Structure 1
Amino acid sequence: MLQQILLVEDDYEIARIIKDTLTKEGYHVILATTGLHDFKQNGFDLVLVDWMMPEMDGLTLIEHIRLESDVPIIMISARNTDTDKVQGLQGADDYLAKPFSLEELKARVSSQLRRWQRYNKVQQVTEMDVYAHGLKINWAKNIAELNDIDLTLTQKEFALLKVLAQNVGQIFTKEELYIHVWQQSSFMDTNTVTVHIKSLREKLQDSVKTPHFIQTVWGKGYRFIGEIL
């Protein structure tokens, strides 16, 4: 099976050259101009992302990918100062400054994919997490239970639970949750996240004042505080 690469680049000529080069190397390359929706819909072995994008910039995209995956990411950018590289490498695994040679591109891609293969051989994927107060989440089947009763969560509710629960203790603003779950860079309706969080809490039987799972951090957002058994 061909290794899949997601290429997020809005410059058509650069994207075409990169895609043609990597396709000749035997990779299956998917081209996107935003990236988050494509990443969530497919399983990728590596992501190449340009920093300067018209809708969601590369740094923001990487932040959201990192919420659910350790897939290798190479940032490509015309910004080539040491400060830029340090900033880019906060989330990316490698940084390739434009202009770069195609030989260097192929070498960097090959190196990251080798590391990813080794990582996957030793990684143990947790299919289910069991929490105090009766919550179980089966990540493989996208199913949540409370006291052994299936929760009828909508797709968005489960997506909210997933991003919160897989990043225990991290505070997410409503805007961050909206971008990640609704996969839109423009945050227009603050009520959308509020309504879905309220519904999720009701199904989890989680009190706002004394929560076991989702805690409101006033003036900031929400975080997951569930305790894994």
Structure 2
Amino acid sequence: MKHSILLVEDDREIALNIREYLLKRNFLVTWATTGFEGWEDFRKGNYSLAIIDLMLPEMDGFTLCQNIRWESDLPLLILSARSEEDDKVRSLKLGADDYLTKPFSLRELEARIESHLRRYNRYLGKNEMEESFIFLDGLSLFPEKRIVLLNGIEVTLTNKEYSILVLLAKNPQHTFSKKELYEHIWEETDNEGNNTITVHMKSLRAKLNDSPKKPKFIQTVWGTGYRFIGELSNEN
């Protein structure tokens, strides 16, 4: 089976060299030139690994890396002309698996890709059971089937409401700003004064019977955004 690689690189010469090299080694390669294009390709495709440049237009590599990690355990390999330790540390803390400084050899890039793919395949082999999240207070999420239950009764959510809930529930330690939520889920740059997240959050909370004043699932962090506070039950 061919592995599919997402390459997000705005330098045409570098991208074409990587793409040609990987294609000759039997990889499938999707090439994006901006951060938002890369994010859109990730949401639409099914990839084995992503190679991401840090200095990207529209959405930088740090933000793209963070967005992908909120959704997936896909191996992330960062490319950058910047060799500063702070950039490497920031990338790794955001969830990147590796950091390769430009200029680099294509043989080394290939070796690192193969190493990460071996580890990821072993990880997938250990996690073949369907993912589910069972929380106290009656909330259950089944992402594979896109089902949400509250006290055993299915809750009908819009696609955006569902995406907000799953994103928050999968990342309970992170407080999401409205800007992060909007750009992650709508895949567009957030405009100042945009009230979209507030409206969707109000509707989502109403469907979950979750009072903003005494939340069981979604807590408002005043001046910052929202975070998920639901407690997992022992059934997980």
CA distance in 2, matches of 1:24, 1:16: 12
Q: Structure 2: where are the runs of 5+ without partners? A: none
* Cα drift, residue 127 of structure 1: 2.5
Listed one character per residue, the Cα deviations across residues 69-93 of structure 1 (whole Å, up to 9, x for unaligned) are: 1111110011123333233322211
Q: CA–CA distance in 2 between the matches of 1:143 and 1:186?
A: 28
Range that drifts further, 199-208 or 184-193: 184-193
Q: CA–CA distance in 2 between the matches of 1:32 and 1:189?
A: 30
Matches within 5 A, 1:10-25: 10-25=10-25
TM superposition shift of 1:36: 1.2
Match of 1:42 in 2: 45
Whole-Å Cα distance in 2 between the matches of residues 145 and 84 of structure 1? Answer: 41
Letter in 2 for 1:211: P
Contact 1:48 1:76 in 2 (8 A): yes
Which residue matches 1:6?
A: 6
**Cα-to-partner distance string for 1:134-166 (whole Å, 9 max, x where unaligned):** 211111111111122221111100000011011
Q: How many correspondences in the alignment?
A: 229
Match of 2:72 among 69, 72, 95: 69
1:138 corresponds to 2:139: no
Report the equivalent of 1:81. Answer: 84
Instruction: Tell me, yes or no, if the aligned pair for 1:178 and 1:187 is still in contact at 8 Å.
Output: no
Q: For 1:227, what is the secondary structure of its paired residue? A: coil
| Residue 197 of structure 1, aligned match among 189, 196, 201 | 201
Over 3 Å counting, the alpha-carbon distance change for 1:166 and 1:126 in structure 2 is farther
What's the C-alpha RMSD, in Å, of the aligned pairs? Answer: 1.5
Unaligned runs of 5+ in 1: none
Counterparts of residues 28-177 of structure 1 (less than 5 Å): 28-33=28-33, 34=35, 35-90=38-93, 91-123=95-127, 125-177=129-181
Q: In the aligned structure 2, how far is the partner of 1:168 from the partner of 1:198?
A: 19
Give the distance between the partners of 1:204 and 1:48, measured in 2 at CA: 38
Distance 1:218 1:135 in 2: 24
Question: Matches of 1:189 and 1:48 in 2, distance apart?
Answer: 34
Which whole-Å CA distance do the structure 1 matches of 2:100 and 2:161 have between them? 37
Shift of 1:44: 1.1
Question: In structure 2, what residue type is equivalent to 1:9?
Answer: E
Following TM superposition, by how much is the alpha carbon of 1:125 offset from its aligned partner in structure 2, in angstroms? Answer: 4.5
Counterparts of 1:170 and 1:118, CA distance in 2: 27
SS at match of 1:67: helix
Identity of aligned residues (%): 51
Distance (whole Å) between structure 2 residues aligned to residue 169 and residue 84 of structure 1? 22
Letter in 2 for 1:23: L
Displacement over 4 Å in runs of 4+: none
Note if 1:210 corresponds to 2:214.
Answer: yes
How far is the alpha carbon of 1:26 from its aligned partner?
0.9
Tell me by how many angstroms 1:170 deviates: 2.0
From the superposition, tell whether residues 87 and 130 of structure 1 become closer, same or farther in structure 2 (CA, over 3 Å): closer
In 1, distance between residues paired with 2:81 and 2:184? 26
| Separation in structure 2 between the aligned mates of residue 32 and residue 125 of structure 1, nearest angstrom | 32
Q: Secondary structure at the match of 1:198?
A: helix
C-alpha deviation, 1:126, in angstroms: 4.5
